[in-house]
C-alpha cells in the first residue's frame, strides 16, 4: 500500500486518499473483486488507475464512451503514464501499433469499448498479455433496470471464466439496490467486496420549479446565477434541443446543440468546444454527458423531466465535479407528466420492465412534488438517510406554501368521472370553470353538477392541481384513449372524504431581477493572477490539442494564486501537481506568478474589500484618495484601516495624518473613557474638541485595545 500512496502523491500530485479510495485500492491489490459506488467527482478513476500502476501487467478499462476514453488517456499521458485506447475512431495502423505496444508490455493502462472486448479476436489478444485488473466503468449500464442499459455489458460475465485470477472492479456513480444486485449477478462479483460512499453532493443546490414558461425561467436562472459559466441544459426531444440552443444564442450566450440526429463531425466539434472553451452552454438530449470529465460545469438545467431519479442524479451530477458551488435546476410541468406516462404506455417492452419503469417515474414525480428537503429524499432513494434537512435546496431555502386541496381535488376527480373519463385536462378544467364552449354544450357537460363549480381557482391553479393529482397517482393518462385522464383506485378515499390532500401552491413566475453578485472563485486581489494563469493554461492546452483542465484543474490554479509559490520545491505541494507536470509546466507557471507580487500588508484573513483598500495604502494613497478611487465613504476606508491596525498589519502613525503628540493625546483621552460601554468614540471626539475625525480615533483605539 505504501507504493500506492507514493503513486498517488508523486504521479497524481494528491497528498492523501479520499472517501473509500484507500480501501478499494487495497482490496484490488489483494486480488479481490470490487463493486464501488462513488459520487461523480469522488475520484473513481484513481481507484483502478493506481492499482494498475502498482500491480504487474496492464490494467484494462472497459468504458462505453469514446469521449471518456480520449479524455482519460490524454490526462494519463500528461502524467507520464503509458495509456492508450482501442475504439472505432482509430485507423487500422493505429490499432496495430497499440496492439503491438500491448503485447510488448509498453502499456500501463488500456481503455476498450465493451463491444470490442467481447470479440473473440480481442479476447485472444488479451490472453497473450499479463493483465493486472479489469475495470468496468459506468457499470450501471449492465442493468436492464438502469437508465443507460447497454446489452454488450451483459456479456462481460465471461471475464470471470476467461481470466479467473484477474481482479475486477465495477464502478458507478448511481445505482439503487436492484441495480447493484444485477451488477453483481451479471459481472459475477459474488465473492467480491462492495463499497458504497455517500451519494451526497453537498456543493450542488437542487431546485425544481413549475414548468410554465420554462425557457424564460431558465434564462432568469442563468442570468441571475451563472452569467458566464459553463453549463448543460437537457431537453427530451431533438427539436427542443435545437430551438433552445438557438434561443439562448439569440439571448447572447454561446449555446451549442448536441443530439444523435446531428452528424458525427458536428457533435464532435460541439463537444470539443464545450470541453476546451470557457462559458459554453451545451443543450442536449440524454445522449450527452456520461463520461464527460469537465470539472467546472457550474450548472445543469432540465427543460424536460428525467424518466427516473437515477437519471436525474446522474445528469445533475455532471455539475460541480471540482467540488465548488453548483446548481441543478429543473422546470417541470403538466405536459412532462402526460408525455412520459404516454411513452411508458406505448413501450413494447415486457410488462415487468414497464412496471419497474413506471415505479421509477413515480419516484421521480414524487421528488418533484415534494414539499420537504429534496436532498433527504434523493439520498433516501439510494438507501442513505440524512438526519437533518440540507439547507441547500429550494424547499429548504424557500419552503413551499401548501394548501388544503381536499375539496378542490374532490371537485376535479368528480368532474373527471361525471364527464365519462374520456377527456384531457384542458377540457375538464373548462367544465370546472363553467366555460361557454360548443364542444361542452354538444356533450351536454354544461348540465353536469360540476359545471362552473371550480371558479374559485384560476386556470393555472387547476392545471397545477391536476399535475399533482397525476404525479401522485390519483389520476392516470390513458394514451390509447387519446390522452384522456382516468381515475385510479387511489382516488377513492379522496372522493369519499376518507383522506385529505395538501397540495403545493402554484407560484407565479417572478420578473427578471438584476444579476446577483456571484461568489468568485478567488478573492479580488488574486483575480488578475488567476486570469493570467488560466490564459497560460489555455495556451499550453491549445498547443497540445487538449482541454485546459487536463493541464491543471481550476482548483489547482486557485491554490497557486493563494499560496504564491516562488520555487518548484514549494509548488510540488500544491494538490494536482505531480512530478511530471511539475517538470513540464512548473517553470512556466512560476514565471507568471512572480510577475504578480502581493503587497506585504495584504492578508488572506481579510475580506476582499479590506484588501483592496490595503493595496491602495501600499501605493501611498491618502484616505481621501482611496475613498474617491473606490467610491466609498471615508468612514468606510477608516474602518478597513482599523481592521488592519488591530491585526498588527499597519502602523497607525504611518497611515494616519497625525503626529506622535496627537497619537498620545488621543490615547490618553481614550483611557479617560475606558469605563464607558456605549458612545465612547463620540465622547472622545467631543472631549478632543472635535479636532480629529471619528475614523482617526477609531484607528487609534484599534491600535490600543483596552
> 402-504 with 608-703: one CATH topology?
yes
What pLDDT was estimated at residue 146? 57
What pLDDT was estimated at residue 144? 67
Whole-angstrom distance, CA of residue 344 vs CA of residue 341: 5
Per-residue confidence at 513, pLDDT binned at 50, 70, 90?
very low
- Are the beta carbons of 357 and 351 closer than 8 angstroms? no
**Lowest model confidence (mean pLDDT) among 193-197, 348-352, 372-376, 380-384:** 348-352
Look-up: residue for cell 488592519?
644
Q: Domain ranges in the chain?
A: 2-196, 204-397, 402-504, 524-593, 608-703
Could you give the residue ranges of the DSSP H alpha helices within 55-176? 66-78, 92-103, 114-117, 120-126, 158-162
- 608-703 folds as Arc Repressor Mutant, subunit A (1.10.10)
Instruction: Report the pLDDT averaged over residues 426-441.
Output: 94
> pLDDT tens for residues 628-687?
998 999 999 999 999 999 988 899 998 999 999 999 999 999 888 876 555 778 888 989
Span 524-593: which CATH code? 1.10.150.80
Whole-angstrom distance, CA of residue 173 vs CA of residue 180: 11
Mutual angle of helices 44-54 and 21-29, in 10-degree steps: 30
Look-up: residue for cell 479617560?
672
Distance of CA 419 to the CA centre of its chain: 46
Whole-angstrom distance, CA of residue 544 vs CA of residue 419: 67
For domain 204-397, the CATH superfamily is: P-loop containing nucleotide triphosphate hydrolases (3.40.50.300)
Span 2-196: which CATH code? 3.40.50.300
Burial of residue 66 (number of CB atoms within 10 Å: 0-12, 13-18, 19+): middle
Query: Which cell numbers in the block locate residue 340?
Result: 412520459
What pLDDT was estimated at residue 101? 94
> pLDDT tens for residues 86-107?
988 889 999 999 999 999 999 9
Give every CB contact of residue 34 below 8 A, 6+ residues apart in sequence: 24, 27, 28, 47, 167, 168, 169, 170, 189, 192, 193, 194, 195
Give every CB contact of residue 32 below 8 A, 6+ residues apart in sequence: 167, 191, 192, 193
- Are the beta carbons of 318 and 40 closer than 8 angstroms? yes
Name the DSSP class of 408: H
Q: Using the predicted structure, report yes or no on whether residue 512 has a pLDDT greater than 60.
A: no
> pLDDT tens for residues 434-443?
999 999 999 9
pTM, 2 dp: 0.74
Out of 180-184, 327-331, 377-381, 473-477, give the one with best mean pLDDT. Answer: 327-331
Domain 402-504's class?
mainly alpha
Query: Which cell numbers in the block locate residue 595?
Result: 510577475
Rg (CA), the chain: 31
User: Three-state SS for 603?
Assistant: coil
Report the residue count for the chain. 706
Amino acid at each position: 500500500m505504501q507504493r500506492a500512496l507514493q503513486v498517488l502523491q508523486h504521479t497524481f500530485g494528491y497528498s492523501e486518499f479520499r472517501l473509500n479510495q484507500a480501501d478499494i485500492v487495497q482490496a484490488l491489490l489483494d486480488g479481490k473483486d470490487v463493486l464501488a459506488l462513488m459520487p461523480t467527482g469522488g475520484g473513481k478513476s484513481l481507484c483502478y488507475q493506481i492499482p494498475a500502476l502498482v500491480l504487474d501487467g496492464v490494467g484494462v478499462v472497459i468504458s462505453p464512451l469514446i469521449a471518456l476514453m480520449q479524455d482519460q488517456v490524454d490526462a494519463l499521458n500528461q502524467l507520464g503514464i503509458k495509456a492508450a485506447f482501442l475504439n472505432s475512431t482509430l485507423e487500422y495502423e493505429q490499432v496495430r501499433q497499440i496492439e503491438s505496444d500491448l503485447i510488448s508490455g509498453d502499456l500501463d493502462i488500456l481503455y476498450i469499448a465493451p463491444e470490442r472486448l467481447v470479440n473473440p479476436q480481442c479476447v485472444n489478444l488479451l490472453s497473450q498479455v499479463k493483465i493486472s485488473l479489469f475495470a468496468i466503468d459506468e457499470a450501471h449500464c449492465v442493468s436492464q433496470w438502469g437508465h443507460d442499459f447497454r446489452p454488450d455489458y451483459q456479456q462481460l460475465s465471461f471475464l470471470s471464466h476467461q481470466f479467473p485470477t484477474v481482479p475486477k472492479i465495477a464502478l458507478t456513480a448511481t445505482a439503487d439496490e436492484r441495480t447493484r444486485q444485477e451488477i453483481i449477478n451479471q459481472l459475477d462479483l459474488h465473492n467480491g467486496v462492495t463499497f458504497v460512499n455517500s451519494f451526497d453532493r453537498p456543493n450542488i443546490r437542487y431546485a425544481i420549479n413549475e414548468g410554465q414558461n420554462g425557457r424564460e425561467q431558465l434564462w432568469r436562472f442563468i442570468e441571475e446565477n451563472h452569467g458566464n459559466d459553463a453549463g448543460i441544459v437537457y431537453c427530451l426531444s431533438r427539436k427542443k434541443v435545437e430551438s433552445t440552443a438557438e434561443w439562448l444564442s439569440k439571448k447572447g450566450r454561446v449555446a451549442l446543440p448536441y443530439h444523435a440526429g446531428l452528424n458525427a463531425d458536428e457533435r464532435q466539434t460541439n463537444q470539443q468546444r464545450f470541453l476546451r472553451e470557457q462559458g459554453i452552454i451545451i443543450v442536449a438530449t440524454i445522449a450527452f454527458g456520461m463520461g464527460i470529465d469537465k470539472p467546472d460545469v457550474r450548472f445543469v438545467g432540465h427543460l424536460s423531466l428525467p424518466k427516473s431519479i437515477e437519471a436525474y442524479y446522474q445528469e445533475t451530477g455532471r455539475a460541480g465535479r471540482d467540488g465548488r458551488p453548483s446548481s441543478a435546476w429543473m422546470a417541470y410541468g403538466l405536459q412532462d407528466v402526460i408525455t412520459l406516462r404516454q411513452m411508458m404506455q406505448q413501450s413494447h417492452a415486457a410488462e415487468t420492465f414497464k412496471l419497474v419503469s413506471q415505479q421509477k417515474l413515480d419516484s421521480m414525480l414524487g421528488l418533484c412534488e415534494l414539499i420537504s428537503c429534496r436532498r433527504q429524499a434523493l439520498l433516501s432513494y439510494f438507501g442513505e438517510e440524512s438526519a437533518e434537512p440540507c439547507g441547500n435546496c429550494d424547499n429548504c431555502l424557500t419552503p413551499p406554501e401548501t394548501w388544503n386541496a381536499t375539496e378542490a381535488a374532490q371537485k376535479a376527480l368528480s368532474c373527471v368521472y361525471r364527464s365519462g373519463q374520456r377527456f384531457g385536462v384542458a377540457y375538464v378544467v373548462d367544465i370546472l370553470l363553467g366555460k361557454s364552449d360548443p364542444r361542452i354544450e354538444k356533450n351536454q357537460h354544461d348540465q353536469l353538477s360540476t359545471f362552473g363549480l371550480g371558479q374559485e381557482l384560476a386556470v393555472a391553479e387547476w392545471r397545477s392541481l391536476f399535475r399533482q393529482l397525476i404525479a401522485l397517482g390519483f389520476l392516470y393518462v390513458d394514451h390509447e384513449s387519446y390522452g384522456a385522464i382516468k381515475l385510479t383506485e387511489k382516488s377513492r378515499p379522496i372522493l369519499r372524504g376518507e383522506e385529505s390532500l395538501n397540495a403545493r401552491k402554484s407560484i407565479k413566475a417572478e420578473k427578471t431581477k438584476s444579476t446577483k453578485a456571484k461568489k468568485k472563485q478567488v478573492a479580488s486581489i488574486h483575480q488578475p493572477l488567476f486570469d493570467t494563469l488560466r490564459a497560460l493554461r489555455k495556451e499550453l492546452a491549445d498547443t497540445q490539442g487538449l482541454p485546459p483542465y487536463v493541464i491543471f484543474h481550476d482548483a489547482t490554479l486557485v491554490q497557486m494564486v493563494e499560496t504564491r509559490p516562488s520555487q518548484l520545491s514549494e509548488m510540488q505541494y500544491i494538490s494536482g501537481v505531480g512530478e511530471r507536470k511539475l517538470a513540464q509546466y512548473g517553470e512556466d507557471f512560476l514565471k507568471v506568478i512572480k510577475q504578480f507580487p502581493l503587497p506585504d500588508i495584504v492578508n488572506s484573513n481579510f475580506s476582499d474589500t479590506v484588501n483592496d483598500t490595503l493595496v491602495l495604502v501600499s501605493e501611498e494613497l491618502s484616505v481621501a484618495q482611496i475613498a474617491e478611487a473606490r467610491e466609498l465613504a471615508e468612514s468606510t476606508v477608516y474602518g478597513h484601516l482599523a481592521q488592519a491596525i488591530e491585526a498588527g498589519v499597519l502602523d497607525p502613525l504611518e497611515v494616519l495624518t497625525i503626529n506622535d503628540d496627537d497619537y498620545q493625546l488621543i490615547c490618553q483621552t481614550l483611557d479617560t473613557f475606558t469605563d464607558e460601554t456605549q458612545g465612547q468614540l463620540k465622547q472622545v471626539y467631543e472631549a478632543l474638541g472635535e479636532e480629529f475625525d471619528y475614523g482617526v480615533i477609531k484607528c487609534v483605539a484599534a491600535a490600543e485595545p483596552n
